[in-house]
A = this chain, B = another copy of it.
Amino acid sequence: MTELQFNSWQTIQDEVLRRIHVRDWPPGAVIPNEADLAKEFGCARATVNRALRALAEAGILERRRKAGTRVALHPVSRATVDIPIIRQEITGRGQAYDYRCMSRSVTRPPSRVIDRLGIQGGVDCLHVTALHLASGAPFVFEDRWINLATAPDAAEQSFDALSANEWLLANIPYTHGDIRFAAEAASEHDATVLETSHGEPVFVMERVTWDHDRAITFARLCYAPGYGIVTRFGSAP
């Protein structure tokens, strides 16, 4: 018999990947069930389960109860993007971090922001704009609206020295967030702050952070020209 000895879930994962790879199990094919694989590999079903579950989370396999496990037909590449604190991102590159608060006021946000935060029209928000610098050069311009209904303590913060980014992270618990990456033309103001020219392409990240169903903050991060996000998908390095 083929009583092979694949003892660890990693080994099993590698073997499954190999079989997909060499088209033993082509895209769309149903693979043997956990019990049979466990017998074949000479291990417990839980070990097979661990391996297959991880591959399903990575988007390589699709699993459904009773229906079984099949190789994903359209292998969506699932890339994980780490979004660090800006300070960390800059110091992590070995550059000096500097922060400059540019404005701070309590006003009624524009409808664009009201929509994103999903709040009522009459609510006032704290509006903070700031510049993050890397080795003295403008790195990213932050335009942030904080929902005072959710984060009232923010009203007492000056955000002179500590960025709203970091203060919120340390003080206001959140459950999840929405992110949008896009390319935009630098506005007159963006351009001035980032020391570039009007209309220049800039990488923009927009984030809305939530605590359950209550919006905490909306931030538009406008990166200096040349910025890009680098990430990877798949297994091996």
Contacts and interface: CB of A to CB of B under 8 A. Distances in A.
Interface string A172-210: 011111111111110000000000000111111000001
User: How many copies are assembled?
Assistant: 2
A230 B79 contact: no
Interface string A218-236: 0000010101111111111
Interface stretch (A4-12, A70-78, A155-163): A70-78
A235 B185 CA distance: 33
Interface string A19-46: 0111100010000000000000000000
A170 interface: yes
B180 A183 contact: no
A232 B178 contact: yes
Given A175-B235, A176-B237, A230-B180, A169 B84 contact: no
5 contacts: A74-B169, A76-B84, A78-B80, A176-B234, A182-B227
Interface of A: 17, 20-23, 27, 59, 74-85, 88, 169-170, 173-185, 199-204, 210, 212, 223, 225, 227-237
